[in-house]
Structure 1
Amino acid sequence: MPTVTRATFTGTARARNSLRVAVIADSDTRWKWGALTARRIAEGCADAELHGFLLRGRATPTARQLSEVGVEWGQPREVTGAEFLTAVERGPYDVVVLALVGGSVQALLHGMARLWPGHERRPVLVTGYVGVVYEKLADGLLLRHGADVVLANSPYDERRFTQVYEGVGADASAVTRAALPFLGGTPHTGAADAVVFAAQPSVPERRADRAYLLRRLVQHARLHPGREVVLKLRSKPGEHTTHIEELPYQRLVRDLDTPANFRLAYGHMGEVLDRTGLLVTVSSTAALESLHRGIPTAILTDLGVREPLGNHHFLGSGCLTSWDALDAGQRPQASQEWLREHGVSAHGDPYDAVRERIDALLARPVLPPVSPYYSTATATGYLPGILARHRLDETPRAEATGVRRVVREAVREAARGAYRHGVQRVAPVIRRMGEL
């Protein structure tokens, strides 16, 4: 059985006194987004049950990673896509939050379309993005089309999402403005002085670029010996997050002679930000958390302002700067207009509209069939591959029992371990050897 969190929420009165919400995620960051989104959706319910699932795959988070995302929740149940569909069918759930990569969302939407092929009682389906949407905008959005609610984290995203759906002639009514659910924490008062570099698993990708950023961070520590300088890491070697990290900074730092005021940090980003006086990154979502608190935030231009880096998202923010300027004492001042437009500073509760839409959908006697834009008619050469990768191109078989079930689970665990070892350890070595 999945871990169930039962909580009593206070706040604006809801049309429903109880709510059963299921969350499925495929990485540590998406679990954080999905679990916190579920809590925001459930606010105002006198009684809410929150059920957690993890989609089995290369980035399935470890218990340590789950403990560091800052969400008070027990261990979620690990499942395949077919097993999750069985759990949802047996539910019953009022809301299902799909905190997954786009292809997985699309596969599960088609799976649920088979579970509820007509106008009937089914859960409200919610999905969205864990942070800055700076690449694959059309592809990612169309893979999420078919959910009842597609969350946009800002007015800027709301307009872009709507334009993409309307541009292909798809229904855009699911697009609903919200905000990142983990924005919060203690406002910056100026007392904290630590300089924190928020590392990203896949940005930048090149070893030379990552080594350059690390050298400049260490150099900054030497130039300011009275200031704590922190390299904030997402995961430990061998662990995976939303993106694959082939060249972890903690391995690169071994080649450097670091000063006493330089250190590595793991753990919950919010706790690190409590001690931060300057947040430095290339394009991490941590920048939005930092800006929300009023912490001076620097988006580095040293490697260029380029779409593959994601720092182009911060054009007009007032945060783009370089290591040279930071070494000289610069503290960027963010544009308040940019912060409002990108959902970093907002008045009122940004989830009011989300709860209103969900309540309105739940109040209907039945909901329409799940109808993704991608179908065998619109994406004949694309959709079958997505469904096959998740083994949802055929009807899930009933659960086996007894000895067969034990053997099957043992084989599955062994195969999963071999797959993770290959993806996380062997493949990066082969790719690095190919670059020599």
Structure 2
Amino acid sequence: MLADSDTRWKWGALTAHRIAPECAAEDGNLTGFLLRGRATPTARQLGEVGVRADRLDEVTLPEFLAELRRERYDMVVLALVGGAVQAALHGIAALWPEPARRPVLVTGYVGVVYEKLADGLLLRHGADLVLANSRHDAGRFRAVYGGVGADASAVTETALPFLDGAPYEESVGHAHTVVFAAQPSVPESAADRGYLLRRAAQHARLHPGREVLVKLRSKPGEHTTHLEEIPYQRLADRMPDPLPPNLRLVYGNMGEVLDRTDLLVTVSSTAALESLARGIPTAVLTDLGVRETLGNHHFLGSGCLASWDQIDAGLRPAGDPAWLAAQGVTSDAPYEAARARITELLSRPELPPPAPYYTAVTAPGYLPGILARHHLAPDGTVLPGAAKPLHEKSRLRRYLRSYLREAARGTYRHGVQRVAPVIRRLGEL
């Protein structure tokens, strides 16, 4: 499994355990690789996700392709952003340009797909399975592929692999717990993010008997799937009044936080689907509008749209059963189709090379740039000097490279979170 962020690591590892016939158990054999980049997760982030691998290496795409050439894998889950998936597919096609015994290639989305639908899907075309997290998504995916004349047979309906956990039971005798699931990039502006934090604090003051938790995805300096330029931790430090004693900023595994949640509040986080799958009252905020840029338009018809004013007044929304079924939140056997498809592909003596929609013919002005970013030539082959097999690297060299990479990431993150906002403010004067 190859992933490029903490959330995609969680999705990819759990998906592999759910759909691989020989890895259906949580202790199944899983080899993990982290694609080196700005969002490469830290050890703390990986530990918080709570998914382990038998082996874990940080690699570039050329190094990963060298690993595939050297070792035999039955299935590879590409838990990556769309451009990296496309580069991996072309790189693998260059490894096996003729029918051969190659890995089954699986990709998909880590959560709600509310933006760049066509772009993201076409970048994933060419995998043997493109997983759709719901019946609703499967229909949209097939329509996009059909619209450009691409083969849509790889689209396979499943569900998000982390929609589990104990069903919600309203407890008596303990403080009502409200969790605001924050997102790294939604909303984007400091004013909107400050507003949401103030409203959470206001709710805590209005209900001193409740515990209000602001669930954060990462600590300042860490990156996740989306770039977080304005962390809530820093906004909390800048608030004129201290946070009320019954409001806390928390980290940790989302499933464990939901174990003690009585009401989940968010703008559009995938945590809403996790919450709804357990039957926890869930509010998707409308305070900043219902807008595509926020992603909360995805929840139209869910019965969960609400404002902080309504939540303050006691509203605890419940999900609409028909909407939940269409969105894959309630499903009896969400992985059977994927398991059957993988079993059938593994039974074949050979598989054809991946055939992405984007080629030198269909996208000559787009594809070469995507491949070049990952050190691949226009034909998908690795550029000279771009890869060295993992087993040939000395321990000292790996340590030095890791140290230098962390220093470079720290500099980059400081620039994004501290320097860039100052420059933007100066530009507005």
- TM superposition shift of 1:346: 1.0
Q: Return the match for 2:296 from 293, 301, 311.
A: 311
- TM superposition shift of 1:418: 4.6
**Residue type matched to 2:188 in 1?**
E
SS in 2 for 1:289: helix
Structure 2 match to 1:194: 177
**Residue type matched to 2:35 in 1?**
L
Relative to structure 2, which stretch is displaced further, 87-96 or 169-178?
87-96
Q: What does 1:231-270 align with in structure 2 at a 5 Å threshold?
A: 231-254=214-237, 255=239, 256-270=241-255
Structure 2 match to 1:163: 143
- TM superposition shift of 1:264: 1.3
- TM superposition shift of 1:416: 2.5
Structure 1 match to 2:366: 382
Assess, with a 3 A threshold, how the Cα gap between structure 1 residues 331 and 164 changes in structure 2: closer, same or farther: same
Q: What does 1:223-238 align with in structure 2 at a 5 Å threshold?
A: 223-238=206-221
Question: Normalising by structure 1, what TM-score?
Answer: 0.91
**Residue type matched to 2:116 in 1?**
K
Q: Return the match for 1:285 from 253, 267, 270.
A: 270
Higher RCO (C-alpha under 8 Å, 6+ residues apart): 2
- TM superposition shift of 1:105: 0.4
Counterpart CA distance in 2 for 1:324 and 1:171 is 48
Gaps of 5+ in 1: 1-22
**Residue type matched to 2:357 in 1?**
Y
Q: Return the match for 2:68 from 78, 88, 96.
A: 88
Structure 1 match to 2:320: 335
Structure 1 match to 2:201: 218
Q: Return the match for 2:155 from 163, 175, 179.
A: 175
Asked if 1:101 corresponds to 2:81, the answer is yes
Structure 2 match to 1:421: 410
Counterpart CA distance in 1 for 2:5 and 2:382 is 26
Gaps of 5+ in 2: none
Counterpart CA distance in 2 for 1:365 and 1:401 is 29
State how many pairs are aligned.
Answer: 413
CA contact (8 A) 1:126 1:148 kept: yes
**Residue type matched to 1:197 in 2?**
F
- TM superposition shift of 1:334: 1.0
Structure 1 match to 2:376: 392
Calculate percent identity across the aligned residue pairs: 66
Relative to structure 2, which stretch is displaced further, 192-201 or 57-66?
192-201
CA contact (8 A) 2:229 2:416 kept: no
SS in 1 for 2:293: helix
Assess, with a 3 A threshold, how the Cα gap between structure 1 residues 257 and 114 changes in structure 2: closer, same or farther: same
Structure 2 match to 1:356: 340
Question: Normalising by structure 2, what TM-score?
Answer: 0.92
SS in 2 for 1:370: coil
Structure 2 match to 1:20: none
CA contact (8 A) 1:63 1:75 kept: no
Assess, with a 3 A threshold, how the Cα gap between structure 1 residues 424 and 310 changes in structure 2: closer, same or farther: same
Structure 2 match to 1:8: none
- TM superposition shift of 1:411: 6.8
CA contact (8 A) 1:112 1:370 kept: yes
SS in 2 for 1:276: coil
Counterpart CA distance in 1 for 2:85 and 2:47 is 25
SS in 2 for 1:106: helix
Asked if 1:136 corresponds to 2:113, the answer is no
**Residue type matched to 1:296 in 2?**
P
CA contact (8 A) 1:54 1:78 kept: yes
CA contact (8 A) 1:60 1:240 kept: yes
Asked if 1:299 corresponds to 2:288, the answer is no
Structure 1 match to 2:99: 119
Asked if 1:39 corresponds to 2:17, the answer is yes
CA contact (8 A) 1:194 1:277 kept: yes
